[in-house]
Structure formats: structure tokens, C-alpha cells
């Protein structure tokens, strides 16, 4: 039965991988049809779960949450690292949206942009503090960093919604899109689909082989002396 068990487990693992990767098919079809929303052209509340979106982020108030991965040895924490960051991104339609990324290069760009935005806000506040009626904004420097991205729109998890709401404060319900944009690489979508199909086919073949081997072993056991 050891061979049957091994084949059965391998078949289930392959099928699970196949199903997981094939869930990208609806988004792949949108990609092939060019059904990709432009971030700069979005109206308020136009983002829907399952949408593909691409564009440029040029304003962010920084990260409001992060995901950490903790490694333990014999129950003792040995290391910890941040795997994903969640940014409050200001949209062109005057709304905020949560953006998820685990890409180190993009995180560095967003951190740089967040610093530039903070300086921008501070310089405006300083100008109004000097003269609230006629502030001199000539010295205000607009953020220069632009972060190009591709993403898929997902449901905003309740825990992230709570963190975002707490971070943002008053006006959250009116000013924030209740979805999550997560970083994607549209160019890799076709390879994920191919991998999913291959894994699914392999799983089916292994499942058939498992049944054949199981029946053979059962027959041999039944007629053994």
C-alpha cells in the first residue's frame, strides 16, 4: 500500500496546484482581451473584484500595515522578515485605496515616494502657517517619484479593513475604496495558466495510475496463498 499512498498523495498535490493556478483563468482572459482598467482614468467606486488595473502611483501616505514571516526552531523565534507591505495610495479620483506588494524594488520606490509626499505636505503647511490668507507656494516641490504598477483587484480582508480604518480615521467610509489592489505581473499570467494545466493533467494521470496500482495490489492480495 506504500506505493498507492505515495501515488495518491502526489496526485492530490498536483491537482491542488492545478486548481490553484487555474483560478487565474478569468483574469488571463481579461488580459488577452485587453480588458485592463487605467488607474489614472478610474471614477469613484469603479473598481470591482477581479478587475485588472495598471498605471502610475504618484501619491502615497505610506504603509499602514505589513505582513511578517516568523521562523522558529524548537518553538524559539529565530528570525523575522517582512514579506508584504500595504500602502495607502491616493488616486486620481480623490479617493484612497489599499495597495499590496511584496516586491523589494517597488517597496523601495514607494518608500521614497512616501517621503517626498510627506515633505510636500509639510511645506504646504509651513506656507499656510506663515500666511493663511495668501500663502507663498512657490517653494513647494511636488513629489517626483512615479511608481509604475500592474495589479489585480481583490476583496479587502476584514483585518486589513480594520487597520486601514484605524490608520485613516474620520472620513474613511467616504474617502476610501473598499477593495485591495495587489501587485501582479501580467506577462507571467500565461505561464501560470500553462503550469496549472500541466499540473492538473499530471494529477489526473497520477490518479488513474493510483487506481490501477491499487486494484492490482488488491487483486494480488485477494488471491495470494
In a domain, 149, yes or no: yes
Which three cell numbers mark 37? Answer: 482598467
Give the per-residue pLDDT at 138: 80
- Domain extent, residue 151, equals 37-191
Strands, E, within 13-133: which ranges? 37-38, 52-57, 60-73, 76-90, 96-101
Give the per-residue pLDDT at 140: 85
Is the pTM higher than 0.75? no
Q: Which residues pair with 98 in a beta bridge?
A: 88, 180
In a domain, 82, yes or no: yes
Which residues fall within 8 angstroms of residue 3, CB to CB, at 6 or more apart?
A: 213, 217
Q: Rounded to an integer, what distance in angstroms lies between the CA atom of residue 182 and that of residue 49?
A: 11
Weakly modelled stretches of the chain, pLDDT under 50: 22, 223, 225
Q: Which residues pair with 73 in a beta bridge?
A: 76
DSSP state of 143: P
In a domain, 130, yes or no: yes
In a domain, 114, yes or no: yes
Give the per-residue pLDDT at 26: 59
Give the per-residue pLDDT at 129: 87
In a domain, 17, yes or no: no
What total number of domains does the chain contain? 1
In a domain, 118, yes or no: yes
Transcribe 7-28 into DSSP letters: HHHHHHHHHHHHHHHHTTHHHH
pLDDT, tens only, 201-210: 666 776 676 7
In a domain, 196, yes or no: no
pLDDT, tens only, 36-75: 999 999 999 999 998 999 999 999 999 999 987 766 555 5
Give the per-residue pLDDT at 14: 58
Give the per-residue pLDDT at 5: 67
Give the per-residue pLDDT at 135: 83
In a domain, 7, yes or no: no
Amino acid at each position: 500500500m506504500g506505493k498507492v499512498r505515495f501515488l495518491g498523495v502526489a496526485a492530490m498535490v498536483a491537482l491542488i496546484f492545478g486548481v490553484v493556478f487555474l483560478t487565474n483563468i478569468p483574469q488571463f482572459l481579461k488580459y488577452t482581451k485587453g480588458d485592463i482598467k487605467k488607474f489614472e482614468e478610474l471614477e469613484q467606486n469603479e473598481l470591482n473584484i477581479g478587475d485588472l488595473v495598471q498605471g502610475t502611483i504618484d501619491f502615497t501616505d505610506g504603509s499602514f500595515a505589513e505582513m511578517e514571516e516568523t521562523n522558529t526552531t524548537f518553538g524559539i523565534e529565530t528570525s523575522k522578515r517582512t514579506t508584504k507591505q500595504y500602502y495607502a495610495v491616493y488616486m486620481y479620483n480623490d479617493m484612497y485605496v489599499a495597495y499590496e506588494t511584496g516586491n523589494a524594488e517597488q517597496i523601495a520606490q514607494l518608500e521614497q515616494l512616501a517621503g517626498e509626499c510627506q515633505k510636500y505636505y509639510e511645506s504646504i503647511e509651513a506656507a499656510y502657517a506663515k500666511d493663511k490668507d495668501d500663502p507663498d507656494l512657490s517653494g513647494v516641490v511636488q513629489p517626483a517619484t512615479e511608481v509604475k504598477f500592474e495589479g489585480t483587484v481583490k476583496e479587502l480582508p476584514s483585518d486589513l479593513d480594520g487597520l486601514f480604518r484605524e490608520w485613516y480615521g474620520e472620513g474613511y467610509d467616504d474617502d476610501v475604496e473598499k477593495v485591495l489592489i495587489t501587485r501582479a505581473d501580467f506577462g507571467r499570467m500565461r505561464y501560470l495558466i500553462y503550469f496549472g494545466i500541466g499540473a492538473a493533467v499530471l494529477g489526473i494521470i497520477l490518479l488513474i495510475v493510483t487506481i490501477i496500482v491499487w486494484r492490482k495490489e488488491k487483486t494480488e492480495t485477494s488471491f495470494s496463498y
